[in-house]
Amino acid sequence: MKPADLTRLHSLGAPSLSPDGAWAVFALTRPDLDKDTYVGGLWAVPTDGSQPPRPLTRGEHDSGPVHSPDGRWIAFLRPDTDDRAQIHLLPVEGGDPWKATDHPLGAAEPAWSPDSTRLAYTARVPEEGRYDGTEPGKEAPRRITTLKYRIDGVGFHHDRPRHVFVTTPLVPEAAPGAPTQITGVPTDHKAPVWTTDGSEVLFSAALHEGADTDLVTDVWACPPEEGARPRRLTHSRVAAEDPAPAPDGTTVFFRGEALGDQGRDFVGRTPGLWRVPLEGGPEPVRLTDEEDGPHVQQRLQVLDDGVLLLADRRGAAHLLRVPLDGDEEQTLVGGPVQIQSFDHRAGVTVAVVADGRSSGELVRVGPEGTSPLTSLSDLDPHPVAELTAHTPDGHPVHGWVAVPEGQGPHPVVLMIHGGPFAPYGHQVFDETQVLVEAGYAVVLCNPRGSSGYGQAHARAIIGDVGRVSAIDLLAFLDASLDDARLDADRVGVMGGSHGGYMTTWMAAHHGERFRAAIPERALTSIDSFEGSSDIGSLFPLPLYGPQEGWARQSPLAHADRIDIPTLIIHSEQDWRCPVEQAQRLYVRLKRRREDTELLLFPGEGHELSRTGLPSHRVARFEAVLDWWARHL
């Protein structure tokens, strides 16, 4: 895989099954370098495997399909002429889709009522005079009175909160009608879903007193009427997301993690499965173990006898069934794979599965295993070998090593993931493939602080992030270098976000181990991060501890010890780790060393390497390869 081969990587959106389970519809997307965007549409495939997938729509940016319960319609998202996604409806029996919403900032998250007569969804509602086509620089000044007022990838959101709407699907000849806005508090509302009897819409939101200074979100229920008062189902210090009602209509399940007495202690907390009565009342009950239970990812699906969910485990993401009677959870799809999404209808389960050979294929899940429904990958990726190393005190560190063909010894790149509460995992990773194809061995692991290894493992770095993480990273690097094909004298280090933080830390404290470094979108100074990052008001204290320890844990405070060539990569519109984090590091290093460079990407945010313009992603890869060619 070379940089321009990004166009060969595909992405499959969450599948939607027809009510009888006979057909699966999904969005297929690929980067397009000629158009410098991501293009794709909806596809359909029979779940018995009797036919190959076929295109269902002709739009270039269609996504998010959802079948109506009666099987007549598919709701999906398609950008309007102003590039704002609107909900469109497609007759299952054939015909052209038509637009069902017309919001100035687009619509998202369509959810059908049980009787298929209404749609609930979310849409951002702008303040008067904003986001209306006026040149942004000529808008009136923003008056900000909250700590939570902007977020990376979206921008300012306090002046365009996301509300829940309900609309009646329209006939093709009619113009979109006036939907009913059922929420009113100016804050973001997410993940609407109907109760089993269709009398209320469930959603998650932070509507409680003090919501601006904690991370608590609750599950709410609201009648689908203008002016209705939402009622709160959860009353606890929990981040409650993704509500899902039980078929019998008595219980609501949700994904969430406890946040401590102050509602802010989020670091390394393992999200689990919870339940609460639909009528509210008692405290919600956690159904999966907090310490060593599955790290539950987004989206739940409730069956008559259990809950289907995705769980992060040791770099894998498995599809589990958690029984409602308290029995032990069952792994439906396990092994060295990453399940990205799934759906279940009429006894049929399908899932999007990525592994070491593919970035994701749709499969049918059965008692004997999985059977493929798509075969979309045309890559022949380099293999990645699993390895477990041990620190001097015996702590295990799990990860992977990818080695180019040939005897070597090959130069080595130690890659560090972001988060820190995130994992590397079992799937085709473009970063690894491009570097290995260019002749570099790639070493990547999940040190303490990573998710999927239990809560104690994730929380072990609190208050001493750089030092503890470095112990694990160096132990894994040393174990990898026992392979004679890897050249211990030519090692570089790179990483993004928290990985950029750790790259800068490693360059300062263990620079003798490395020839050069590439910190990307990095947090380098905790004190300024607190005031400039979109999450800065709530992030530093739970992870780095009391403020008196921030300077000691800030890589910038140790930058004068960095004595290796450093390429700093950042995006100009990064609001998670604002560009001043890179600028301060660059100035500090450039005053001392000529072999320091700063590569800035205009118009991009924190997610450049994953969702940035395809041309920018290729340019980034080319800059990385050029840097390692010069220094390794």
**The two three-digit tokens of residue 435, written as one number:** 């570097």
Q: What is each CA distance from 468 to 127, 236, 297, 392, 553, in whole angstroms?
A: 46, 32, 26, 12, 11
Q: What is each CA distance from 49 to 23, 46, 338, 357, 414, in whole angstroms?
A: 10, 6, 22, 21, 41
Where along the chain do its domains lie?
387-631
State the Cα–Cα distance between residues 474 and 395, nearest whole angstrom: 12
Residues 408-417 have pLDDT tens digits of 999 999 999 9
pLDDT at 175: 62
pLDDT at 172: 66
Residues 315-334 have pLDDT tens digits of 999 999 999 887 889 999 99
pLDDT at 563: 97
Rounded average pLDDT over 605-628? 97
Is 384 within 8 Å of 438 (Cβ atoms)?
no
State the Cα–Cα distance between residues 570 and 512, nearest whole angstrom: 25
pLDDT at 280: 80
Q: Does residue 174 surpass a pLDDT of 90?
A: no
Q: What are phi and psi of 224, to 5 degrees?
A: -80, 55
Provide the 3-class DSSP secondary structure of residue 509. helix
Q: Does residue 170 surpass a pLDDT of 90?
A: no
State the Cα–Cα distance between residues 227 and 384, nearest whole angstrom: 56
Q: How confident is the model at residue 293 (pLDDT cuts 50, 70, 90)?
A: confident
Residues 450-490 have pLDDT tens digits of 999 999 999 999 999 999 999 999 999 999 999 999 999 99
387-631 maps to CATH 3.30.2450.30 = no
State the Cα–Cα distance between residues 353 and 369, nearest whole angstrom: 12
Q: Does residue 283 surpass a pLDDT of 70?
A: yes
Residues 524-564 have pLDDT tens digits of 999 999 999 999 999 999 999 999 999 999 999 999 999 99
pTM: 0.96
Residues 64-94 have pLDDT tens digits of 999 999 999 999 999 987 789 999 999 998 8
- Whether the CA torsion 162, 168, 174, 178 is positive or negative: it is negative
Q: How confident is the model at residue 133 (pLDDT cuts 50, 70, 90)?
A: confident
pLDDT at 159: 95
Residues 118-131 have pLDDT tens digits of 999 999 999 998 99
| Of residues 365 and 95, more confidently modeled | 365
Q: Does residue 169 surpass a pLDDT of 80?
A: no
Q: How confident is the model at residue 178 (pLDDT cuts 50, 70, 90)?
A: confident
- CA nearest to 106, candidates 90, 121, 93: 121
Is 294 within 8 Å of 272 (Cβ atoms)?
yes
pLDDT at 326: 79
Of 176-190, 441-455, 521-535, the poorest mean pLDDT is in 176-190
Residue whose entry in the numeric block shows the structure tokens 């294929």 = 361
State the Cα–Cα distance between residues 159 and 138, nearest whole angstrom: 16
Residues with Cβ within 8 Å of 520's Cβ and at least 6 positions away in sequence, in order, are: 494, 495, 496, 497, 499, 500, 503, 568, 569, 570, 609
Kindly report the three-state secondary structure assignment for every residue of 587-598.
Answer: HHHHCCCCCEEE
pLDDT at 171: 64
Q: What is each CA distance from 490 to 278, 416, 500, 520, 629, in whole angstroms?
A: 60, 17, 20, 20, 11
pLDDT at 118: 94
